[in-house]
């Protein structure tokens, strides 16, 4: 996103334009009028990453415009980053610049923060990080009150911890999340809380079970667990599945089980096409679940044909999409069996054309 597009004074109008465009597209597929959930116009990004540009004795954060990919743009004020990232950027830059052992062949800096105020900084190098680096990094971590990770090829050193602990407030409940470095987490925590509240308002079936695909670290899983008898949540990433399991224990949730399967593999397991050893640990065999709702939050590519076929068999589908284009394609396919009953827009990425969309699809009476 070019920095010139960040215009807080125009935020409301830009969101209206974006929402109107996708409302028109989805209305043509039978969707109702959307509820629109805005973002704070500044200070909303909990993650940020910058290339590091060395110019003599100067060291700066830079980004590259899609229009001029070879020309670095120095970042001195990144107003869309969370307050804790903004507060750390300049003190960190000055300390990196002043210490040769920290700045030498430093290539990239990545920030991960939380609404709760924690900060993790990853320093990516084109050289090994040694004991001298670690000694300097320990002082750096104390100076900026953050955990520090040093990374180079096949090497990782951690000062503090390689995760942050987030707390999200949803419907008067607090949920706590361990979020590891490198695992996907929602970048806009304020909007994420709106998403969680909207999703939980759309579902309540405590006599039946929920199947969730693409669960990640359990962002949606934890709040949804309070509205179903049992939840089976699936995710392919090992690190995300480990964090999701830890998050269950952290929140004293006992009616959820995780399986490390892709969406395609889940479809094959439910249909009896294949058996998976990765399901043998389940307390409740797959055949004992009474699924009435499927919840999906897929990557930008949307749902594959097998998962779409599986979705068409469910009485209710809750679909969170980061790509309205592929969502529209999938709804068009699902319109043969389902109709959109609820629609919501969540502005995870202000000043861009991206929009997070929530839909509820109910099976038609045949």
Asked if the structure places residue 67 within a domain, the reply is yes
One domain, residues 135 and 259: no
One domain, residues 210 and 314: yes
One domain, residues 206 and 351: yes
One domain, residues 344 and 235: yes
Asked if the structure places residue 179 within a domain, the reply is no
Among candidate residues 181, 215, 235, 322, the one labeled active-site is: 322
In the 3-class helix/strand/coil scheme, how is the chain assigned residue by residue?
CCHHHCCHHHHHHHHHHHHHHHHHHHHCCCCCCCEEECCCCCCCECEEEEEEEEECCEEEEEEEECCEEEEEEECCCCCCECHHHHHHHHHHHHHHHHCHHHHCCEEEEEEEECCCCCEEEEEEECCCCCHHHHHHHHHHHHHHCCEEEEEECCEEEEECCCEEEEEEEECCEEEEEEEECCCCCCCEHHHHHHHHHHHHHCCCEEEEEEEEECCCCCCCHHHHHHHEEEEEEECCCHHHHHHHHHHHHHCCCCCEEEECCCHHHHHHHHCCCCCCHHHCCCCCCHHHCCEEEEEECCCCCCCCHHHHHHHCCCCEEEEEECCHHHHHHHHHHHCCCEEEEEEEEECCCCCCCCCEEEEEEEECCC
**Confidence band for 4, pLDDT divided at 50, 70 and 90:** confident
Asked if the structure places residue 170 within a domain, the reply is no
pLDDT tens per residue, range 94-114: 999 999 999 999 999 999 999
One domain, residues 33 and 51: no
Question: Which structural domain range is residue 313 located in?
Answer: 3-41+188-363
Boundary of a domain, candidates 164, 180, 212:
164
| pTM over 0.85, yes/no | yes
One domain, residues 351 and 297: yes
pLDDT tens per residue, range 286-332: 888 999 999 999 999 999 998 999 999 999 999 999 999 999 999 99
Q: Is 215 a catalytic residue?
A: no
One domain, residues 253 and 211: yes
CA–centroid distance for 127 within its chain: 30
Among candidate residues 118, 181, 265, 356, the one labeled active-site is: 356
Q: Is 322 a catalytic residue?
A: yes
Q: 124: domain CATH number? A: 2.40.50.1070
One domain, residues 11 and 80: no
One domain, residues 244 and 323: yes
Asked if the structure places residue 172 within a domain, the reply is no
**Confidence band for 59, pLDDT divided at 50, 70 and 90:** very high
Split into its structural domains, the chain has a count of: 2
Q: 218: domain CATH number? A: 3.40.50.150
Asked if the structure places residue 351 within a domain, the reply is yes
Boundary of a domain, candidates 164, 196, 231:
164
130: left (phi over 0), alpha (psi -120 to 50) or beta: beta
Boundary of a domain, candidates 132, 164, 196:
164
One domain, residues 197 and 120: no
Asked if the structure places residue 91 within a domain, the reply is yes
Asked if the structure places residue 183 within a domain, the reply is no
């Amino acid at each position: 996103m070019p920095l010139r597009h960040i215009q807080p004074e125009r935020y409301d109008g830009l969101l209206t334009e974006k929402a109107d465009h996708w409302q028109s597209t989805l209305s043509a597929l039978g969707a109702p009028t959307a509820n629109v959930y805005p973002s704070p116009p500044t200070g909303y990004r909990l993650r940020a990453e910058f290339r590091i540009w060395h110019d003599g004795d100067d060291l700066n954060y830079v980004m590259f415009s899609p229009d001029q990919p070879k020309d670095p743009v120095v970042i001195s004020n990144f107003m869309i980053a969370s307050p804790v990232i903004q507060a750390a950027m300049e003190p960190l830059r000055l300390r990196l610049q002043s210490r040769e052992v920290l700045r030498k062949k430093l290539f990239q800096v990545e920030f991960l923060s939380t609404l709760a105020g924690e900060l993790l900084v990853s320093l990516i190098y084109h050289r090994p990080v040694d004991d001298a680096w670690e000694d300097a990094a320990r002082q750096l971590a104390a100076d900026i009150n953050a955990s520090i990770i040093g990374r180079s090829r096949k090497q990782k050193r951690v000062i503090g911890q390689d995760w942050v602990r987030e707390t999200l407030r949803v419907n008067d409940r607090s949920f706590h999340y361990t979020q590891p470095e490198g695992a996907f987490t929602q970048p806009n925590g304020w909007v994420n809380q709106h998403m969680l509240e909207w999703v939980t308002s759309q579902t309540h079936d405590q006599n039946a079970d929920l199947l969730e695909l693409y669960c990640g670290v359990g962002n949606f899983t934890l709040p949804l667990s309070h509205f179903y008898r049992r939840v089976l949540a699936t995710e392919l990433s090992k690190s995300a599945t480990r964090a999701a399991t830890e998050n269950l224990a952290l929140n004293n949730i006992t009616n959820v089980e995780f399986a490390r399967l892709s969406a395609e593999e889940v479809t094959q397991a439910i249909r009896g096409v294949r058996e998976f050893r990765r399901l043998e640990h389940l307390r409740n065999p797959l055949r004992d679940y009474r699924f009435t709702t499927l919840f999906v939050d897929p990557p930008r590519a949307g749902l594959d044909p097998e998962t779409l076929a599986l979705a068409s068999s469910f009485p209710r589908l809750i679909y969170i999409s980061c790509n309205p284009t592929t969502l529209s394609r999938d709804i068009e396919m699902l319109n043969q069996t389902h109709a959109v009953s609820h629609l919501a827009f969540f502005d995870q990425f202000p000043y861009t054309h991206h929009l997070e969309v929530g839909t509820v699809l109910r099976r038609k009476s045949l």
